[in-house]
Structure 1
Amino acid sequence: MIRTAAAAAIALFLQGAANAQMSHHHASEAACDTTELRCATKVTPAFAPDGTLWLAWMAGGRISVARSGDHGKTFSAPVAVFDQALKLDWGPDARPSMIVDRQNRIAIAFSIFRDKNFNGEVLYTRSVDEGRRFSKPEPITPGTESQRFVQLALDSDGSVFAAWIDKRNRARASAGNQSYNGAALFFSWSKDGGGTYSETRLVKDNTCECCRIAVAFAGSRQPAVLFRNIFPGGVRDHAIVTFGDSAAPGEIHRVSHDGWKTDACPHQGPSLAISPEGTYHAVWFTSGEARKGLFHARSTDGGQTFSEPMAIGRPDRNASRPYVLTSGSGTTIVWKEFDGEKTTVKLIRSGDDGKSWSQPRDIAATTDASDHPLLVGNGSEVFLSWMTKADGYHITQIDSAP
Structure 2
Amino acid sequence: MISHKPAARMLLAAAMLAAFPKLARAQMSHQHASEAACEETVLRCASKVTPAFAPDGTLWLAWMAGGQISVASSKDQGKSFSAPVQVTRERLNLDWGPDARPKLAIDAKGDIALAFSIFRDQAFNGQVLTTRSTDGGHSFDPPRPITANNESQRFEAIGFDPAGAVFAVWLDKRNRVPAQRRGEKYDGAGLFFASSKDNGATYSDARMAADNTCECCRLALAFDGAGHPVVVFRNIFEGGVRDHAIVTFTDLATSGELHRVSRDDWQIAACPHHGPSLTISSAGTYHVTWYTNGKARKGLFYARSRDGGKTFSDPLPVGQLNHSPSRPQVIAGPQALAMAWKEFDGQKTSINLMTSHDDGATWSKPTVIADTADSSDHPLLVSDHRQTYLSWMTKADGYHFQAIEGEP
Instruction: Identify the TM-score tier after normalising by the shorter chain.
Output: over 0.9
The structure where strand makes up a greater share of residues is 1
The alpha-carbon deviation at position 38 of structure 1 amounts to 0.1
| Equivalent residue, structure 2, for 1:38 | 44
The alpha-carbon deviation at position 330 of structure 1 amounts to 1.2
2:225/2:282 contact within 8 Å kept = no
| Equivalent residue, structure 1, for 2:336 | 330
Q: Distance in 2 between matches of 1:210 and 1:178?
A: 21
Q: Are 1:25 and 2:31 matched, yes or no? A: no
The alpha-carbon deviation at position 33 of structure 1 amounts to 1.3
2:387/2:407 contact within 8 Å kept = no
Deviations for 1:330-389, whole angstroms, at most 9, x for unmatched residues?
A: 110000000000000000000000000000000000000000000001013100000001
Alignment partner of 1:117 out of 115, 123, 127: 123
Q: Distance in 1 between matches of 2:257 and 2:406?
A: 36
* Structure 2 unaligned residues grouped into runs of 5+: 9-36
| Equivalent residue, structure 1, for 2:136 | 130
Q: Are 1:165 and 2:143 matched, yes or no? A: no
1:165/1:185 contact within 8 Å kept = yes
The alpha-carbon deviation at position 26 of structure 1 amounts to 2.8
Q: Distance in 1 between matches of 2:237 and 2:370?
A: 37
Q: Are 1:293 and 2:299 matched, yes or no? A: yes
What is the DSSP-based 3-state SS (H/G/I as helix, E as strand, rest coil) of the residue aligned with 2:78?
Answer: coil
Q: Distance in 2 between matches of 1:248 and 1:213?
A: 18
Alignment partner of 1:234 out of 240, 262, 277: 240
| Equivalent residue, structure 2, for 1:277 | 283
Alignment of 1:204-215 (within 5 A): 204-215=210-221
Q: Distance in 2 between matches of 1:148 and 1:401?
A: 34
1:28/1:393 contact within 8 Å kept = no
Aligned-residue Cα RMSD (Å) equals 1.0
What is the DSSP-based 3-state SS (H/G/I as helix, E as strand, rest coil) of the residue aligned with 1:352?
Answer: coil
Q: Distance in 2 between matches of 1:243 and 1:50?
A: 28
Q: Distance in 1 between matches of 2:383 and 2:117?
A: 25
Q: Are 1:75 and 2:81 matched, yes or no? A: yes
What is the DSSP-based 3-state SS (H/G/I as helix, E as strand, rest coil) of the residue aligned with 2:249?
Answer: strand
TM-score (norm 1): 0.93
Deviations for 1:279-322, whole angstroms, at most 9, x for unmatched residues?
A: 00000000000000000000000100000000000111110000
* Structure 1 unaligned residues grouped into runs of 5+: 1-22
Q: Are 1:217 and 2:195 matched, yes or no? A: no
Alignment partner of 2:381 out of 367, 375, 378: 375
| Equivalent residue, structure 2, for 1:51 | 57
The residue type equivalent to 1:265 in the other structure is C
Q: Distance in 2 between matches of 1:131 and 1:248?
A: 31
Alignment of 1:179-198 (within 5 A): 179-198=185-204
The alpha-carbon deviation at position 401 of structure 1 amounts to 5.2
| Equivalent residue, structure 2, for 1:254 | 260
2:334/2:388 contact within 8 Å kept = no
1:241/1:250 contact within 8 Å kept = yes
| Equivalent residue, structure 1, for 2:27 | none
My pick for the range that moved more, 213-222 or 358-367, is: 213-222
1:121/1:146 contact within 8 Å kept = yes
What is the DSSP-based 3-state SS (H/G/I as helix, E as strand, rest coil) of the residue aligned with 2:73?
Answer: strand
Q: Distance in 1 between matches of 2:41 and 2:246?
A: 36
What is the DSSP-based 3-state SS (H/G/I as helix, E as strand, rest coil) of the residue aligned with 2:49?
Answer: strand
1:155/1:220 contact within 8 Å kept = no
| Equivalent residue, structure 1, for 2:25 | none
| Equivalent residue, structure 2, for 1:342 | 348
The alpha-carbon deviation at position 221 of structure 1 amounts to 4.0
| Equivalent residue, structure 2, for 1:395 | 401
1:221/1:246 contact within 8 Å kept = no
Deviations for 1:184-229, whole angstroms, at most 9, x for unmatched residues?
A: 1000001111111111100000100000000011134411000000
The residue type equivalent to 1:179 in the other structure is K
1:336/1:346 contact within 8 Å kept = yes
What is the DSSP-based 3-state SS (H/G/I as helix, E as strand, rest coil) of the residue aligned with 2:175?
Answer: helix
The residue type equivalent to 1:340 in the other structure is G
| Equivalent residue, structure 2, for 1:87 | 93
The residue type equivalent to 1:74 in the other structure is S
TM-score (norm 2): 0.92
Q: Distance in 2 between matches of 1:390 and 1:204?
A: 41
Percent identical pairs in the alignment equals 60
Q: Distance in 2 between matches of 1:97 and 1:328?
A: 23
